[in-house]
Amino acid sequence: MNARTRPSATGLSARALLTPEPFVRMFARRVQQEGALDLTQGDYKNADFAPHPEVVRAAQRITRNTVHSYGPAVGRLDVRNEVAEFFNRDGLIDYPGSEVRFLPDEVLFTPGTRAGLAIVLEVLGADGSGVVVTRPSWEYDWFIERAGKKVVELPTTAPEFLPDPAALERLLAGGQVSCVILNNPHNPTGRVYPRELVEELVRVAVRHRCYVLYDSVYQRLDYVGWFVNPAFANPEWRDYVISLSGLSKMDMFGASTGARACWLVISDQIRANGVRARDVLANLSAWLVATPSTLAQDWALAALQSPLAALRRPSPYMRERRDFILQAADELAYLGIERTDFGGTFYAPLAFPGLVGEKFDRVRHGVHETAVVRNSVDAFEFLHSGGVGGIPFAAFAGGPDAPDGCGAVEICGNGIDDDCNGTADDVSDDFTKADIERVSKL
Ligand SMILES: Cc1ncc(COP(=O)(O)O)c(C=O)c1O
């Protein structure tokens, strides 16, 4: 072994180097770099979607008086108090007769839902246990595997994308599963799960003593008013449902993906051998973040104290945008465009089965070639060649992207997801580039 081939103690970690760029980010980057109409990201990028000026002013006022030094690893008590109030108020709207309440000490302030997810997956469930994820799904796999656990897939089918409680029951019957991630409203399918379904899924999970990680970060982007938090449905479920949410997608008041002002709500009763899960989480938070940003906490306080925090609907702008996309999709249905109900989130899931089999030009490895749309990445490139940038469904784990499938692409509209039920038979002969250009002007 010479000096050039000998492993080196310096350099970069192979494990880190093997971490893929999140696919959604990779496609979004391509769209941005190549200057297409950017429909890739759910975000509040323009003034219509800025946080409310009253919230901004309140945050400025609060932050002037804050002591910006290290504080509790779980977040300040005044902030956790406000989160608990917000959380309980919402829960009682979902379940007016509920006896369930959460205390400020059951709240952990986190720098983003991502951070909450990372630490809770690290703590709950035995090492190597399974974590159920409905498919298609957002980027949970990386978090699960990094926490030393295994992804267990629960497939759903278009256009409903509703998880089947009987299928969940079969998965859990085998044992070895510690957690079920439920994301509601759901990215990337745009579905808000009906109350009965949420309850049935939680019932199955609790029967098998599995925790439900309830990723409800889109809870205020619910256009159909179906969102509920099942932790309030039943006192027993209070000790199984761990909620992850925050201001990231709290349209109407917080609207701040960049503020990293989020929370995790976990029952104090979740313990093993006398050790509280919450204390272990607090310890991890102390190692990783020391204390959540005082600025983020001030921001959360201002937002949650605003009267707007009580409004459970999305802003009129957000709804207008969602309605616009639905209308546009319906008008273009004759081109072979299909949609789901798009009940929640930023993302309008569209399917483009009419594109399957279409020829288009693309550049691959610097070479121009003629390609045919066969899958979602092709459909992404086809649309991209017409100046429209979405996210192919392939970027989402378990997206409907079978080889004979229909060119699924998610366009965030912010999103449009397209899933595909169609086959080559569905190809519309008159789906031309001019049509795509028209779409791009919408
Ligand atoms: C389903 C889902 N969960 C969590 C997150 C992460 O949210 P945050 O920005 O609060 O970390 C996202 C962001 O896109 C998401 O789509």
- Structure confidence at residue 44 as a pLDDT band (50, 70, 90): low
Ligand 1 atom nearest 186 alpha carbon: 1
136: amino acid identity, one letter: P
Which of 217, 247, 264 to mutate to test ligand 1, by most ligand atoms within 8 A of the CB atom? 217
Residue 431 has pLDDT above 80, yes or no: no
Q: Is the dihedral of CA 362, 368, 371, 375 positive or negative?
A: negative
Distances (CA, A) of 387 to 132, 365, 371, 390, 429: 37, 20, 17, 10, 21
Share of the chain above pLDDT 70, in %: 86
- Quick check: CB of 410 below 6 Å from ligand 1? no
- Candidate from 107-111, 211-215, 317-321 with smallest mean pLDDT: 317-321
Q: Choose among 174, 132, 127: nearest CA to 146.
A: 127
SS3 content of the chain, % helix, strand, coil (to 5): 40, 20, 45
- Is-contact 345 186, C-beta < 8 A? yes
Q: Would you say the CATH fold of 53-310 matches that of 20-42+315-441?
A: no
Short-list 269, 201, 264, 209, CA closest to 233: 201
Q: 56-88 pLDDT, tens per residue?
A: 999 999 999 999 999 999 999 999 999 999 999
157-201 residue pLDDT tens: 988 899 999 999 999 999 999 999 999 999 989 999 999 999 999
Q: Which atom of ligand 1 lies nearest, measured to the CA of 138?
A: 1
Beta bridge partners of 371: 360
Q: Is the CB of 138 under 6 A from ligand 1?
A: yes
C-alpha–C-alpha distance, residues 322 and 221, integer Å: 10
Which numbered atom of ligand 1 lies nearest the CA of 248? 10
Please give the full DSSP string across 216-245, using - where no structure is assigned: -TTTT-BSSS----GGGT-TTGGGTEEEEE
Q: Say yes or no: CB of residue 246 within 6 Å of ligand 1.
A: yes
- The Cα–Cα gap between 48 and 126 comes to 45
pLDDT band at 6 (very low <50, low <70, confident <90, very high): low
User: What average pLDDT does range 284-306 have in this prediction?
Assistant: 96
Q: What is the Å distance from ligand 1's center to 244 Cα?
A: 10
The DSSP code for 157 is -
CATH of 20-42+315-441, one of 1.25.40.20, 3.75.10.10, 1.10.3720.10, 3.90.1150.10: 3.90.1150.10
Instruction: Give bridge partners of residue 364 from the DSSP assignment.
Output: 367
Distance CA 194, CA 213 (A): 17
Residue 187 near ligand 1, beta carbon < 6 Å: yes
Arithmetic mean of pLDDT over the chain: 85
- In this prediction, residues 426-435 reach a mean pLDDT of 33
Which pTM value belongs to this model? Answer: 0.87
Higher pLDDT among residues 266 and 345, named by residue: 266
At residue 314, does pLDDT exceed 60?
A: yes
- Class of CATH domain 53-310: alpha beta
**Separation of CA 114 and ligand 1 centre (Å):** 6
| 244 touches 120 (CB < 8 A) | yes
CB distance 110 to ligand 1 below 6 Å: no
DSSP codes of every residue in 278-326: HHHHHHHHHHHTSS--HHHHHHHHHHHHSGGGG--SPPHHHHHHHHHHH
CA of 139 to the centre of ligand 1 (A): 9
CA of residue 217 to ligand 1 center, whole Å: 6
What are the residue ranges spanned by the domains of the chain? 20-42+315-441, 53-310
- Residues 342 and 326: their CA atoms lie apart, in Å, by 8
Report whether residue 386 contacts ligand 1, using a CB cutoff of 6 Å: no
Confidence class for position 417, pLDDT limits 50, 70, 90? very low
Two tokens, residue 93: 């709207």
Q: Ligand 1 pocket, 296 CB below 6 A?
A: no
User: For residue 220, what pLDDT band results from cuts at 50, 70 and 90?
Assistant: very high
Separation of CA 157 from chain center: 18
Cβ-proximal residues to 5 (8 Å cutoff; 6+ apart), any chain: none
Distance 145 CA to ligand 1 centre (A): 17
Q: What is the Cα–Cα distance from 41 to 24, expressed in whole angstroms?
A: 9
Distance 366 CA to ligand 1 centre (A): 34
- Does the beta carbon of 256 sit less than 6 angstroms from any atom of ligand 1? no
